[in-house]
Amino acid sequence: MSELTHPGEAAIGLLRPTPGLSLLGEYQGSGFTDPRFLVRRADGQVIQLSRLLYLVSVAVAEAAAKGNSAVGAELIAAGVSEQFGRDVTAANIRYLVSTKLVPLGVVVAGGTDQTPAPDQPAGSPPRVNLLLGLKVRGVLLRPRAANAVGRALAWLHVPPLVVVILAGFAAFEGWLFFVHGAISPLLGVLDDPVLFLAVGALTLASLLFHEFGHASACRYGGARPGLIGFGLYLVWPSLFTDVTDAYRLSRAGRLRTDLGGVYFNAIFILLLGGCYAVTGQPVFLAAAFLDNFQILQQLFPLVRMDGYFILGDVAGIPDLLGLLGPIMASVLPGRAARRAGARARALRRGPRVLVTAWVLVAIPLLLVALGYTLWHLPALVTTASWSFTSGVAGARADFAAGHPAAGLAAGLNVVLLLLPLAGLAYLLARLALRGVLAPVRAYRNGRLRRRPAVLGALGLAAAAVGVTLGVLAIAAPGPPSASAAANQAQAAAWVEQQVSPGTVVSCDPATCGQVRQGGFPVARLMALEPTTRDPLGSGVVIATPLVRSEFGTRLATVYAPLVIASFGAGANQVQVRVTAPDGAAALAAGLTARRAALRSAGQQLLLNRTVHASPGARAALLAGRVDGRLLANLAVLSSLQPITLVAFGDATPGASPAVPLRGVQLGAVSASTRSAILSFLRAQRGAYRPAVAAAARGGNGQPVVTVRFDAADPLSGP
């Protein structure tokens, strides 16, 4: 090599490796045309070096290992020349050290025979500070414990056993999704707060077991796993395992480490299947179903999940995201673009095609996802604030009512909602801080360049978004007052008791939670969020103050004009309304026609000589106020035996006069009469089977049979 000089060469003095430096060796299966070598600093940062730089680092480290606390450039040059196969002078070594290895924090230079080199290089060595990396880290298992776990579970990666486990996993998945069905166990769990908490605990255990898979695969390949911890990835909390030492492994060993997590997910799902086979509890099938989503999420290759590292190791590139800029620059015209794309052109053809295809897919998808999120950010924040206040109110109500499991489930939902919101706040604050400080530092250093200006613009944008989110969160509706909460609880209880389980009920999230806890099928509940355009996908809507504030006057005039029950008064009133999918005018016309049909059917019933009606019951029949399902049952029953109509009515407080009466009291003095009536009513099927048919006492103390049908579409029926 030719002699090169550098202003700092004469001052580098003696050399020593940075304390804690690990030499990982050549990166196996590299996608670059020239071999790459890896070293790891004590702070965990992995650095790619050329062969010459790596030989210099090795020579410095070997000299230190032989007892030399520091060596000079002349001694290093002699050893490197022999290994490199070309003449390398001391001046060359001084140049490489001062311009490459010292700034990277690989080698420490300085001092003399009397004054040793310092322990650390001057200034802080550079670190990759990625927005798409883990932040706010914590430790779950320290390296020694993680290594012990990996060593204890490494036997699970023996190839014959892997084949058996994957075959069993495929068989179980086929049974779960195509034979038994995976949705029904999940819906059953959502209806029970205790089971919901159990599924949450199993999911957390699965997340930790996933990390054990990475640690054990790393250990099986011959590398040592580092700590297992938790951190903040973008805006979501996440677990991670430090498997940096796996870089020393072959490509197959690295891929085994990458896939170890989802492989352990498969093992965990099999264990859940075994627990279900022993206990018959559907909670294990629900957890297995959710664990499948964790596998799909981890295999997503666009962000730094397992799929990203799998793709990187297939291509032979340690950091795919680091090539986004070079790949894009390599396809653009101009000298600056060609210079920026030089790193991409250093790739071999196959890996370059693969990575280019990944970039062409990743960039549009990431931009679309970012744009969609920013466009809907106000609605998302309003929804989150609404869900938070509703969840807090629901948790309070559950604990006050003596339902601790339901209260804990509601509290868990609130925590799961707060975690990504806290992550989003941290991400925006970090963007704003980096963006604001970048141009300030550049100005102080006397160089205002394009990158600081761009970062400054991003910082101002992030600050503006943060202020907007804060205003939206403050302006979002708070928890309901005590009277509104009481009305809401009464309405939820009424719907659970009176509305047919086959009817779709829409409500705000907190009210839907109360209805669900009462036993109403969760599959028939539709939560109304701020992003919901209308409640027309449901048959009944619970109009709380929160729902009325969302839809305004259109709720009563367009979407749901008919009130079938109401609780309370004034601003805190809660109504149960029937929706009008064909419009308010069509509903009004249908009610008028239906009222005429019911009036005619009531008159025909009164002509029957076996029917005896009180004055109040007669008036209700002649006015067309009686539900058609009830009329059909009474008509058939009167043909079998005489009946006495004591009174029509139902438990429908505050209903509109257009709502038919769904209940009746039938006089039945003798036990045989009561038994015959009950046998007839309980033999009915479908829509004609009453929700309630029971012997009771009337207002005057006389024995009666009480009949009531569920609330349904007032236009339905015979």
Give the residue ranges of DSSP H helices in 66-158.
73-84, 90-96, 143-153
Residue 121 lies in a domain: no
Sequence-ordered strand ranges (E) for 517-610: 525-527, 540-543, 562-567, 574-578
Write down the pLDDT at residue 148: 92
Q: Helices 159-175 & 251-279, crossing angle to 10 degrees?
A: 50
Helix, strand, or coil here: 203?
helix
At 407-447, the pLDDT tens digits run 776 677 666 666 666 666 665 666 566 555 555 555 555 55
Residue 428 lies in a domain: yes
Residue 131 has pLDDT above 50, yes or no: no
Cβ(515)–Cβ(495) under 8 Å? yes
Write down the pLDDT at residue 209: 94
Domain that holds residue 642: 586-708
- % the chain with pLDDT above 90: 11
Tokens 């949450």 belong to 200
At 611-623, the pLDDT tens digits run 888 888 888 888 8
Rounded Cα distance, 174 and 61, in Å: 55
- The strand pair at 611-613 and 574-578 is best described as unpaired
Q: Do residues 573 and 629 both lie within one domain? A: no
Q: Do residues 552 and 640 both lie within one domain? A: no
Q: Of 165 and 479, which is predicted with more confidence?
A: 165
CB hemisphere CA count around 170 (13 angstroms): 6
Write down the pLDDT at residue 442: 53
Q: Do residues 95 and 157 both lie within one domain? A: no
CB hemisphere CA count around 510 (13 angstroms): 34
- In the chain, the number of structural domains is 6
Average pLDDT, the chain: 77
Identify the H or E element spanning 178: none
Going by C-alpha positions, the residue among 319, 404, 393, 327 that lies closest to residue 359 is 327
Q: Do residues 541 and 686 both lie within one domain? A: no
Write down the pLDDT at residue 267: 95
Residues 8-37, mean pLDDT to the nearest whole number = 74
Choosing from 581, 608, 626, the residue where a domain stops is 581
Residue 129 lies in a domain: no
Pick from 178-192, 237-251, 447-461, 622-636: least confident: 447-461
Q: Do residues 311 and 180 both lie within one domain? A: yes
Residue 505 lies in a domain: yes
Q: Helices 183-190 & 282-298, crossing angle to 10 degrees?
A: 110
| Burial status of residue 699 (CB atoms within 10 A of its CB: 0-12, 13-18, 19 or more) | exposed
Residues 123-149, mean pLDDT to the nearest whole number = 69
Residue 219 lies in a domain: yes
Residue 312 has pLDDT above 50, yes or no: yes
Write down the pLDDT at residue 1: 38
The count of other CB atoms within 10 Å of the CB of residue 278 is: 9
Residue 415 lies in a domain: yes
Residue 373 has pLDDT above 70, yes or no: no
Residues 519-546, mean pLDDT to the nearest whole number = 84
At 651-682, the pLDDT tens digits run 677 788 788 888 888 888 788 888 888 888 88
User: 194: which 2 tokens?
Assistant: 């205790």
Residue 203 has pLDDT above 80, yes or no: yes
Q: Do residues 409 and 273 both lie within one domain? A: no
Residues 360-366, mean pLDDT to the nearest whole number = 74
Tokens 């060609």 belong to 338
Q: Do residues 261 and 326 both lie within one domain? A: no
Cβ(329)–Cβ(292) under 8 Å? no
Residue 142 lies in a domain: yes
Residue 557 has pLDDT above 70, yes or no: yes
Amino acid identity of residue 283, one-letter, is V
Residue 713 lies in a domain: no
- The strand pair at 134-141 and 228-233 is best described as antiparallel
Rounded Cα distance, 220 and 261, in Å: 13
State which of 125-139, 391-405, 549-563 shows the largest mean pLDDT: 549-563
Identify the H or E element spanning 15: strand 15-17
Q: Do residues 413 and 444 both lie within one domain? A: yes
- Report residue 54's pLDDT band, with 50, 70 and 90 as the boundaries: confident
- Report residue 164's pLDDT band, with 50, 70 and 90 as the boundaries: very high
Write down the pLDDT at residue 11: 46
The count of other CB atoms within 10 Å of the CB of residue 383 is: 19
